[in-house]
Amino acid sequence: MPDGAIVSKFNWVSLCDEVDKITNDTEFTEGDFEIVSSDNVRFKVPSYHLFAASAVFEGAQGLDSDTERSITLFDSTIETAEVVRLFLHLVVHGKIALEGYMPHVKELVLFLGKWDCERAKRHLLAKLENAVHRGAVQAHIAWLVGANADDPEICRIVLATYPDATWVAPKVQDGNLLWSTPGDSAWSPASWNRGFWEDAPKKYLFALARAYGKGDCSKLASEFERYIKVISEI
């Protein structure tokens, strides 16, 4: 749950004088609660959707009904308009498209964790598990989402479903040594690109590296499960 410093950023007053610098989202335009993303996009939604999604937002119910409810977000990584839009699709419509590289979904799961949206996170992960079984998503991205959600079971399912996953060629073929090598195993530490190293929690990287080091892809999922359990108990 966000600490006092985060919660103190709630702004339950009228919009500031810099309103002309804020643009309105074209889809979420009606409601008694507004969210301004870190890149200055305003979203308006009925407050009951947010109250149902998060204990943090639910705390706003004690406010005077005449008070304008507004929150301004500041994190330029996980509180952008793209992430907020995915969040609102999830909690308002119960829908989210999970295909391919799933842009901004890793950031969304971090947003849900930061704002204590446990029900929405469970809903997202259930949809992700279904997408994994359907073969609709990139294996390494699905694994990263599971790792950032601190959900070892999702990670295990990804590894069990795609033990032979390989890296595909990047869209830009510039010979950058920091890219992964197309055709190499997505689970081999030697092939991980810089982003994969930076985006995954260390204990998950450790467990995956140890599991892959056993040299038997058919046991990759079970070995990962064994190592993540051990390191999580330390």
State pLDDT tens for residues 95-152: 999 999 999 999 999 999 999 999 999 999 999 999 999 999 999 999 999 999 999 9
Position 174 confidence tier, pLDDT thresholds 50, 70, 90:
low
Q: What does the pLDDT look like over 34-58, one tens digit per residue?
A: 999 999 999 999 999 999 998 887 7
**pTM score above 0.75:** yes
Percent of the chain with pLDDT over 70: 83
- The dotted CATH code for 1-137 is 3.30.710.10
Give the whole-angstrom CA distance, residue 161 versus residue 139: 9
- pLDDT value, residue 39: 96
Q: What does the pLDDT look like over 57-81, one tens digit per residue?
A: 777 555 555 556 888 999 999 999 9
Query: Residues 197, 184: contact at Cβ < 8 Å?
Result: no
Every domain of the chain and the residues it spans: 1-137, 151-234
Which residues 6+ apart lie within 8 Å of 162 measured at CB? 132, 139, 186
Could you give the strand order of the β-sheet that contains 33-36, starting from the edge strand earlier in sequence? Answer: 10-11, 69-72, 33-36, 41-45, 23-29
- pLDDT value, residue 57: 79
The mean per-residue pLDDT over the stretch 153-163 comes to 98
**Amino acid found at 89:** H
